[in-house]
């Protein structure tokens, strides 16, 4: 029987001695688990998430199990009082008295203070009895045995100062799993396109519970919780657009960060932990303890390597376990949201968001709801969208509006190959369109109509830099050879600094596989360099 099953059997506080016994017995990993209603819900998996890619060394197994309880077993109306270094030592799991809200009421804080004070007194008394050689009670012996298992007897000393309370997050995590249905398929495709493990898509469960408007007190924003400085290194963050708030765009930034971290640190446990602690901090930890995340968690005492950093990888493993087995952890059902499937434009030139909305028959407020990365000045019309900005449109907007469909038109799911459409001709629509793909479609500046009372702008051009006409006579023009005719049909993309294979593919309406094929790259080759010339069309 596991510790999460106990709350069906206690009133407010479960007896400490029996709780410790249950935890010790539960480590064997046999049998099922029961929720507060007494129903069997979860079969134990002693090594959740263990693999060569995401290993779970013995030193962090209790941490993983603790967070598995927090995410999938303990409700928001329950609180666990535990040791903040040895998470296998849990003193009690109690129901919070009174109405359950986001925070604690004054009376609930007083209650929690009394419970932690009680356990602090017990620990101090036990420590004193051992120091002075006094006889231990049966409860003392059971508690001491737990410390002997997790950290040794020496771990008992100072334990009264390491008390911590953790509320359950089961309801919040269940909602996070539901929202993940909207974004996780795209996140997985993005990770895959960068040659990374797809399961890195579980990180938002730890970072933000998939809350798109999440903002930390330190300034980290969005589903992927990028800080401003880090965000500017991996995406667009300026006065008009902040891509940290766009789940899809920031997922690409996260993939680029994680790829960089893995190249530097050499293992996924360290790269994932660096998402919280930084690459420099984890490089220092690695220099002292190697790539073993268990040794680092147990022994590294670097600056700022506190509770959050020590537990970050364990939280990821636990979130991966619970989210990938949602039916077992949430037998009441999970209503996954529909996958993200919207048309994407990338603007060739700056223009007001209202122009885009008017052209595609959508309200400005509807576009603002879809484009979470637009900042206030863009949303209320005080500033135009900068060139290169992404615009998400209701699915099918391109086909409904364009007089000729763009060369490529597919939804956000990257697994599908792009469709080939007829050659685009001049359009008299308010916005001339360029290529569109899961992440790119670029309209040129809008034409102001006569009804606006302003002078119409020149007819938009599909290409920003249209070549000048050749004024030489036909007699003087060199006759094209088969080689030059073939060369003229080939389109190339010159790689810009920090561009990835995935980004180049999207900008040119290709899948990553097709881009690799055109350039005779292997299926696992993701290495490109600034200035490199890639073939993107024939």
Residue 465 CA: distances (Å) to CA of 71, 102, 183, 459: 54, 55, 36, 14
What pLDDT, on the 0 to 100 scale, is given for residue 426? 34
Instruction: Give the DSSP letter string of 179-210.
Output: HHHHHHHHHHHHHHHTT--GGGGGHHHHHTTT
Q: What is this structure's pTM?
A: 0.69
What pLDDT, on the 0 to 100 scale, is given for residue 435? 35
Residues 357, 295, single domain; the answer is: no
Count how many residues are written for the chain.
538
For residue 102, tell me if it sits in a domain. yes
Q: How confident is the model at residue 225 (pLDDT cuts 50, 70, 90)?
A: very high
Residues 214, 158, single domain; the answer is: no
What pLDDT, on the 0 to 100 scale, is given for residue 384? 93
Average pLDDT over residues 111-117: 96
**Of 148, 167, 186, which one is at a domain's C-terminal end?**
167
Average pLDDT over residues 380-403: 86
Residues 210, 119, single domain; the answer is: no
**Of 329, 362, 383, which one is at a domain's C-terminal end?**
329
Number of domains making up the chain? 4
Residues 433, 532, single domain; the answer is: no
Residue 309 CA: distances (Å) to CA of 79, 223, 301: 21, 19, 11
What pLDDT, on the 0 to 100 scale, is given for residue 170? 97
Q: How confident is the model at residue 514 (pLDDT cuts 50, 70, 90)?
A: confident
Residues 314, 432, single domain; the answer is: no
What pLDDT, on the 0 to 100 scale, is given for residue 479? 59
For residue 295, tell me if it sits in a domain. yes
453-472 residue pLDDT tens: 343 333 333 333 334 444 44
pLDDT of 347 strictly over 80: yes
For residue 72, tell me if it sits in a domain. no
What pLDDT, on the 0 to 100 scale, is given for residue 411? 34
For residue 49, tell me if it sits in a domain. no
Better pLDDT: 140 or 499? 140
What pLDDT, on the 0 to 100 scale, is given for residue 501? 81
Give the tokens for residue 381: 């019309």
Residues 128, 207, single domain; the answer is: no
Q: What is the domain range of residue 514?
A: 482-537
For residue 198, tell me if it sits in a domain. yes
What pLDDT, on the 0 to 100 scale, is given for residue 444? 30
The C-alpha atoms of residue 302 and residue 72 are separated, in whole angstroms, by 31
88-97 residue pLDDT tens: 999 999 999 9
Alpha-carbon 16 to chain mean position: 38
Average pLDDT over residues 318-342: 96
Judge contact between 156 and 299, C-beta under 8 A: no
For residue 208, tell me if it sits in a domain. yes
Residues 438, 389, single domain; the answer is: yes
Q: For position 517, which CATH number holds?
A: 3.10.350.10
pLDDT of 30 strictly over 80: no
Residues 87, 221, single domain; the answer is: no
Residues with Cβ within 8 Å of residue 59, at least 6 apart in sequence: 294, 295, 297, 298
Better pLDDT: 233 or 466? 233
Residues 212, 299, single domain; the answer is: yes
The C-alpha atoms of residue 466 and residue 190 are separated, in whole angstroms, by 33
368-389 residue pLDDT tens: 999 999 999 999 889 999 998 9
What pLDDT, on the 0 to 100 scale, is given for residue 456? 38
For residue 374, tell me if it sits in a domain. yes
pLDDT of 18 strictly over 80: no
pLDDT of 476 strictly over 90: no
For residue 427, tell me if it sits in a domain. yes
What pLDDT, on the 0 to 100 scale, is given for residue 303? 85
What pLDDT, on the 0 to 100 scale, is given for residue 125? 92
| Beta strands at 533-537 and 491-494: parallel, antiparallel or unpaired | antiparallel
Residue of 457, 403, 410 lying closest to 426 (CA atoms): 403
Better pLDDT: 133 or 475? 133
Residues 186, 161, single domain; the answer is: no
Average model confidence (pLDDT) for the chain? 79
Give the tokens for residue 224: 């992927």
Better pLDDT: 421 or 507? 507
Average pLDDT over residues 171-191: 97
Average pLDDT over residues 277-306: 95
69-105 residue pLDDT tens: 999 999 999 999 999 999 999 999 999 999 999 899 9
What pLDDT, on the 0 to 100 scale, is given for residue 402? 62
Burial of residue 388 (number of CB atoms within 10 Å: 0-12, 13-18, 19+): middle
Residues 422, 291, single domain; the answer is: no
Q: Which of 45-49, 167-171, 210-214, 317-321 has the lowest mean pLDDT?
A: 45-49
Better pLDDT: 473 or 415? 473
297-323 residue pLDDT tens: 999 998 899 999 999 999 999 999 999
Q: For position 300, which CATH number holds?
A: 1.10.530.10
3-state class of 291 per DSSP?
coil
Better pLDDT: 57 or 481? 57
Residues with Cβ within 8 Å of residue 228, at least 6 apart in sequence: 219, 221, 237, 244
Q: Which of 95-109, 125-139, 439-453 has the lowest mean pLDDT?
A: 439-453
483-503 residue pLDDT tens: 555 555 788 999 887 778 877
Residue of 278, 146, 256 lying closest to 501 (CA atoms): 256
Residues 353, 378, single domain; the answer is: yes
């Amino acid at each position: 029987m596991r510790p999460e099953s106990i709350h069906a059997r206690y009133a407010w506080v479960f007896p400490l001695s029996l709780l410790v016994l249950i935890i010790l017995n539960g480590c064997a990993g046999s049998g099922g688990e029961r929720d507060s209603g007494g129903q069997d819900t979860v079969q134990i998996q002693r090594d959740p998430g263990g693999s060569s890619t995401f290993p779970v060394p013995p030193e962090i197994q209790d941490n993983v199990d603790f967070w598995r309880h927090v995410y999938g077993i303990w409700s928001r109306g329950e609180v666990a009082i535990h040791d903040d270094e040895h998470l296998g030592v849990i003193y009690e799991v109690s129901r919070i008295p009174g109405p359950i809200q986001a925070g604690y009421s004054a009376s609930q804080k007083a209650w929690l203070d009394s419970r932690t004070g009680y356990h602090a007194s017990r620990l101090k008394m036990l420590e004193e009895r051992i120091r002075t050689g006094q006889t231990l009670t049966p409860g003392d012996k059971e508690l001491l045995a737990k410390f002997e298992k997790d950290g040794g007897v020496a771990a008992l000393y100072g334990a009264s100062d390491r008390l911590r309370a953790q509320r359950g997050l089961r309801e919040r995590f269940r909602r996070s799993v539901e929202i993940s249905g909207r974004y996780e398929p795209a996140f997985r495709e993005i990770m895959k396109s960068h040659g990374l493990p797809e399961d890195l898509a579980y990180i938002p469960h730890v970072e933000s519970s998939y809350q798109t408007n999440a903002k930390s007190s330190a300034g980290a924003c969005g589903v992927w919780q990028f800080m401003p400085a880090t965000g500017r290194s991996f995406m667009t963050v300026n006065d008009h657009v902040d891509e940290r708030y766009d789940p899809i765009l920031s997922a690409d930034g996260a993939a680029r960060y994680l790829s960089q971290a893995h190249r530097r640190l050499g293992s996924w446990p360290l790269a994932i932990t660096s998402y919280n602690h930084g690459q420099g901090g984890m490089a220092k930890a690695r220099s002292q303890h190697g790539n073993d995340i268990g040794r680092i968690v147990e022994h590294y005492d670097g600056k700022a390597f506190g509770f959050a950093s020590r537990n970050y990888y364990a939280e990821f493993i636990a979130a991966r376990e619970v989210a990938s087995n949602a039916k077992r952890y949430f037998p009441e059902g999970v209503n996954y949201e529909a996958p993200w499937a919207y048309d994407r434009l990338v603007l060739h030139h700056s223009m007001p968001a209202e122009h885009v909305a008017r052209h595609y028959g959508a309200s400005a407020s509807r576009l603002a709801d879809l484009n979470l990365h637009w900042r206030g000045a863009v949303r209320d019309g005080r500033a135009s969208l900068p060139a290169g900005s992404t615009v998400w449109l209701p699915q099918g907007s391109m086909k409904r509006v364009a007089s000729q469909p763009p060369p490529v038109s597919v939804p956000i799911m990257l697994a599908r190959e792009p469709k080939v459409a007829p050659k685009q001709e001049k359009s008299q629509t308010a916005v001339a369109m360029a290529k569109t793909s899961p992440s790119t479609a670029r309209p040129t500046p809008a034409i102001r109509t006569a009804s606006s009372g302003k002078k119409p702008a020149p007819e938009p051009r599909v290409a920003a830099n249209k070549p000048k006409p050749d004024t030489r006579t036909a007699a003087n023009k060199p006759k094209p050879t088969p080689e030059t005719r073939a060369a003229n049909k080939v389109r190339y993309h010159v790689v810009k600094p920090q561009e990835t294979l995935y980004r180049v593919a999207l900008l040119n309406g290709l899948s990553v596989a097709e881009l690799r094929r055109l350039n005779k790259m292997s299926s696992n080759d993701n290495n490109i360099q600034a200035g490199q010339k890639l073939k993107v069309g024939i």
